[in-house]
Structure 1
Amino acid sequence: MVDATLLVQLGVISAYLLVALGVGVVAYRLTGRDAEDYYLASRSLGTVVLLFTTFATLLSAFTFFGGPNLAYSAGPEWILVMGLMDGILFAILWYAIGYRQWLIGKVEGYVTLGEMLGDRFGSKRLRALVAGISLFWLFPYVMLQQMGAGEAIVGLTNGTVPYWVGAAFITLFMIVYVVLAGLRGVAWTDTIQGVFMLGIVWVAVGWVLSSAGGFEAVSASMAESNPEFLSLGGGVYSPQWMIAQAVTIAFGVTMFPQINQRFFVAKDARVLKRSFALWPVLVLLLFVPAFLLGSWAAGLGVSVPEGANVIPVVLNAYTPAWFAALVVAGAMAAMMSSSDSMLLSGSSYLTRDLYRPFVNPAATDEREAWIARFGVAAFAVGTFVASLFRPGTLITVGSTAFGGYAQLALPVMVALYWPKTTRQGMLAGVGGAQLFYLAHVFLPAVTVGGVTILGSTYLTWDFALYGMALSLVLTVGGSLITSADADERDEAFTVGTRAD
């Protein structure tokens, strides 16, 4: 006989996701067939929708499950990295990079980052390089969502439903949703899910505190069982590690295809300015309660099964089954929003930056749309297969992808603000930094005569930061020693200083 609690849990999750799918169907009916409407919602988003679609797109498994898991094992200081440091740093970068991109994209009609850089520097190679890098690092981050969904189902059902079922379910859902909805549907569901998650996580905190005896009792339990959680530093939380995480995550987020494309979609300048001003507040309102739940679970002696996430486990222990399922359903839907946005943006990079320029320049919009749908399905199935091998923790997989994207950020900033940037400088900066980063991710450490030649850190600082510095040196240095070719269009980016 099927357990009644399990039926309630799966029923709540299924009902929630069907509502999200219904929003996608409505959006499909209202979405035009042209690329600008499908990928950018005709650059028409207002403050609330832009803010929450960006917010929900970042509510990935890395944030909502990986962060609390780290807080459970190492303490709540992850709040400083994600809540304070990245909340503020990303808001600054949203202004420095996003506002400039919006100004340029509004005039030039760009849809992707690769399209913008390729046109500015008159280079299909640069366009393909940026698109290829973006798709390469998108693979582990989509896989991360499937891993998070699988682990959430294991934690919620105490292992009754296996990991692969959750991962397969989110894969199927994301394929169907992206094919239907386009950015308009993704943005609508993002807004609903962002507001829902913001409210439900505070209800969860209140419910757990009430059931566990109140804030003082929970804090006392944590102080007794994990006293190191109440002091700054120690363990994994060294200043160098925390700064490196904050920098690579914030800079990496700006280059995520699904985030970077949102720099193009604001209705006007006021929408953008209000959005990045409100961003740090929104981040703190979600991250603080989510990471505290992970830390409190350790103090309360909650045992997390292997391959599970702490949030559904602690909610199962201190709240009714239906409520725990509702929170997990919302989190899974938020992860699907992240995945949907990733696949939607990835399909635009595939079709506009690779397929059209190199395979079929004369392709019709209809043919491009079918290539995009096929690409979405193939990409999602590939990441699902990879997720079954569990290549690392959610934090490890996510941090690796963030670091890869972060290598793009400084060359892009240089190109946006320095008219003397050249094609050769961009190719050197983007390509050289990626080679450096890939070597450190995939090759074993090398030590010669006691000196680290290839390692995870240099002078206690993460190699990703050195890769970012290298990207800056190569971009600026390469531009200084080369001349712009006749087909480079520096005037394409000067619009950012003229228009508003």
Structure 2
Amino acid sequence: MNAIGIQLGIVVAYLCLALVIGLLAYRVTERTAEDFYLASRSFGTIVLLFTTFATLLSAFTFFGGPDIAYQSGPEWILVMGLMDGIIFAILWYVIGYKQWLIGNRHGYVTLGEMLGDRFGSMGLRGLVAVVSLFWLFPYVMLQQMGAGAALTGLTDGWLPYWAGAALVTVFMIVYVVLAGMRGIAWTDTLQGAFMLGITWVAALWVLDAVGGAGAATASVADSNPEFLALGSSVYTPEFMLSTAISIGFGVAMFPQVNQRFFTAGSKTVFKRTFVLWPVLVVLLFVPAFLLGTWAAGLGIDANIDAGESVLPILLNEYTPVWFAALVIAGAMAAMMSSSDSMLLSGSSYFTRDVYRPFINADISDRREDLLGRIGVVVFAAATFVASLGQPGTLVEIGELAFSGFAQLAFPVIVALYWRKTTLTGMYAGIGGSQLFYLLARFTSVVPATYFGWNASVVGMLLGLVLTVGVSAATSAAADERHSRFLYGVETE
């Protein structure tokens, strides 16, 4: 069998293994919306930790991160380590624990449902859903782009970009429609553990092939000496901090991550997972991003701006065919873990926060479950069509989505902790920050940077000021229900 046949065989076999796990989960999944979307809030420590971990192991991490390190140096480890290792761990507790307590008490499935009930507003519920679906679209598309680029790089161009993207799209549609949250979590646990191990093996294999870490670093010193000095024209303090803040807060608002705050089986499970989180992500980021850095010194030629990714090319050069294919298969499965979680959450936002309140409030659980599965197919097909145009690099699209979601964070935090937050304040905070960020990214009306800080951070601060200021100047609406949240109640 030729090399391409081996590579594609390993990739398809791995995806089929994930599909088998999904079929097993389908057999024990109840035909209710809560079980389909939240696995009946039953996750233990290991499953919750690894399903969140694998959900974030997207094309942005596996291909975008090494690509940045290849182009600009290894300081991206600090950006992502700060984002995931510190900022998101803190937000996991500040937002997630409070959200779990409230969701466990009232049975909420989505963030919009929780906020809409607290403020007595279907409009706010719909706004949160629409904003979330808007920013979710490019991030699902990013996974399909990553898969297409990965398979093209792995097969040296034999498999066209569109075919790779189509392959992963078909698999993730079938998988999500069958498996639901329970199956996704089961495969996430397998894939998260596998990718953590295989990334370290890949790094050690490449180092062995080139003569060790010293030789690899020396080659970087010869070709890109600026990579070995902290800071550069790219990695300014303002860029690193604003990027880390935008990504960290954006992760906490991603539907597929935020929804997992509702799934812990107990208080103990929730607290254990956020303590273990920083260790897990740093163990992944270090070898993945160093591979991208070493690739620059080893003379690997990857045209990142044209959609190529350096990791498949590097592995093809320095590891056996079967191993390179195994790593890419695992990375694609991890991307599928991100995509299937996004599709599942996007479906829940549509059915729970758009269809149910605005179209048919009397829909049965079984019918909502069916509608959610249909929504998965439609959303995935639309993002696939959009991905064929490759509207930007993986990093550009990922940063756009992260920053868009980050605009929701401060209004949500204020609502969770300040009793005097009003519906008008929430509309002002969410609407104002979203409008500001959209104008900054898609027009020249608003500057994109402010003394080195990106517009995302400025928009977040604007959202905080508007939420607090307008809430302080307005009265609570008649339908607001402060009792739905735990203000002044012992929550430990």
Task: Compute the displacement of 1:332 (Å).
Answer: 0.2
Q: Distance in 2 between matches of 1:4 and 1:170?
A: 22
Aligned with 1:497: secondary structure?
coil
Task: Compute the displacement of 1:496 (Å).
Answer: 7.9
Q: Distance in 1 between matches of 2:307 and 2:348?
A: 34
Report which stretch shifted further, 131-140 or 264-273.
Answer: 264-273
Instruction: Map Cα deviations across residues 431-490 of structure 1 (whole Å, 9 max, x no partner).
Output: 1111111111221x24xxxxxxx2211222111111001101111111111111221111
Instruction: Map Cα deviations across residues 278-322 of structure 1 (whole Å, 9 max, x no partner).
Output: 111101100000000000011011112543211111011000000
Q: Distance in 2 between matches of 1:21 and 1:113?
A: 29
Aligned to 1:283: 281
Report which stretch shifted further, 370-379 or 72-81.
Answer: 370-379
Structure 1 residues 496 and 400: CA distance shift in structure 2, 3 A: farther
Report which stretch shifted further, 472-481 or 318-327.
Answer: 472-481
Task: Compute the displacement of 1:263 (Å).
Answer: 0.4
> Which of residues 467, 473, 481 in structure 1 aligns to 2:473?
481
Q: TM-score, normalised by structure 1?
A: 0.96
Q: Distance in 1 between matches of 2:301 and 2:155?
A: 14
1:436 and 2:441 matched:
no
Aligned to 2:234: 236
Q: Distance in 2 between matches of 1:488 and 1:114?
A: 15
> Which of residues 228, 232, 249 in structure 2 aligns to 1:251?
249
Structure 1 residues 233 and 140: CA distance shift in structure 2, 3 A: same
Structure 1 residues 496 and 256: CA distance shift in structure 2, 3 A: farther
Q: Distance in 1 between matches of 2:39 and 2:395?
A: 32
Q: Is the 8 A contact 1:100 1:496 kept in 2?
A: no
**Quick one: which amino acid aligns to residue 351 of structure 1?**
T
1:465 and 2:467 matched:
no
Aligned to 1:75: 73
Aligned to 1:323: 323
Q: Distance in 1 between matches of 2:88 and 2:448?
A: 25
> Which of residues 204, 209, 212 in structure 1 aligns to 2:210?
212
1:268 and 2:260 matched:
no
**Quick one: which amino acid aligns to residue 252 of structure 1?**
G
Gapped regions of structure 1 (runs ≥ 5): 447-453
Aligned to 1:449: none
Aligned with 1:9: secondary structure?
helix
Gapped regions of structure 2 (runs ≥ 5): none
1:355 and 2:355 matched:
yes
Q: Distance in 1 between matches of 2:307 and 2:127?
A: 36
Aligned to 1:490: 482
**Quick one: which amino acid aligns to residue 344 of structure 1?**
L
**Quick one: which amino acid aligns to residue 220 of structure 1?**
A
Aligned to 1:88: 86
Q: Distance in 2 between matches of 1:370 and 1:102?
A: 26
Aligned to 1:384: 384
Q: Distance in 2 between matches of 1:351 and 1:225?
A: 53
Matched ranges for 1:61-460 at <5 A:
61-305=59-303, 306-443=306-443, 445-446=444-445, 454-460=446-452
Q: Distance in 2 between matches of 1:364 and 1:268?
A: 28
Q: Distance in 2 between matches of 1:140 and 1:49?
A: 27
Aligned to 1:36: 34
Aligned to 1:18: 16
Task: Compute the displacement of 1:495 (Å).
Answer: 6.6
Aligned with 1:288: secondary structure?
helix
Aligned with 1:304: secondary structure?
coil
**Quick one: which amino acid aligns to residue 476 of structure 1?**
V
Aligned with 2:386: secondary structure?
helix
Instruction: Map Cα deviations across residues 104-132 of structure 1 (whole Å, 9 max, x no partner).
Output: 11101100000000000000000000000
Structure 1 residues 461 and 140: CA distance shift in structure 2, 3 A: same
Task: Compute the displacement of 1:499 (Å).
Answer: 4.4
Q: TM-score, normalised by structure 2?
A: 0.98
Q: Distance in 2 between matches of 1:496 and 1:407?
A: 26
Percent identity for Structure 1 against Structure 2:
67
Instruction: Map Cα deviations across residues 85-122 of structure 1 (whole Å, 9 max, x no partner).
Output: 43111000000000000011110110000000000000
Q: Is the 8 A contact 1:193 1:334 kept in 2?
A: yes
Q: Is the 8 A contact 2:66 2:310 kept in 1?
A: yes
Q: Distance in 2 between matches of 1:229 and 1:257?
A: 35
Task: Compute the displacement of 1:377 (Å).
Answer: 1.1
**Quick one: which amino acid aligns to residue 8 of structure 2?**
L
Q: Is the 8 A contact 1:84 1:280 kept in 2?
A: no
Q: Distance in 2 between matches of 1:422 and 1:343?
A: 31
Q: Is the 8 A contact 2:32 2:366 kept in 1?
A: no
Task: Compute the displacement of 1:376 (Å).
Answer: 1.2
**Quick one: which amino acid aligns to residue 463 of structure 1?**
A
Q: Is the 8 A contact 2:39 2:181 kept in 1?
A: yes
Q: Distance in 2 between matches of 1:496 and 1:393?
A: 46
Q: Distance in 2 between matches of 1:232 and 1:81?
A: 12
Task: Compute the displacement of 1:33 (Å).
Answer: 1.1
Aligned with 1:494: secondary structure?
coil
Q: Is the 8 A contact 1:110 1:116 kept in 2?
A: yes
Q: Is the 8 A contact 1:351 1:368 kept in 2?
A: yes
Q: Distance in 2 between matches of 1:442 and 1:302?
A: 34
Q: Is the 8 A contact 2:419 2:487 kept in 1?
A: no
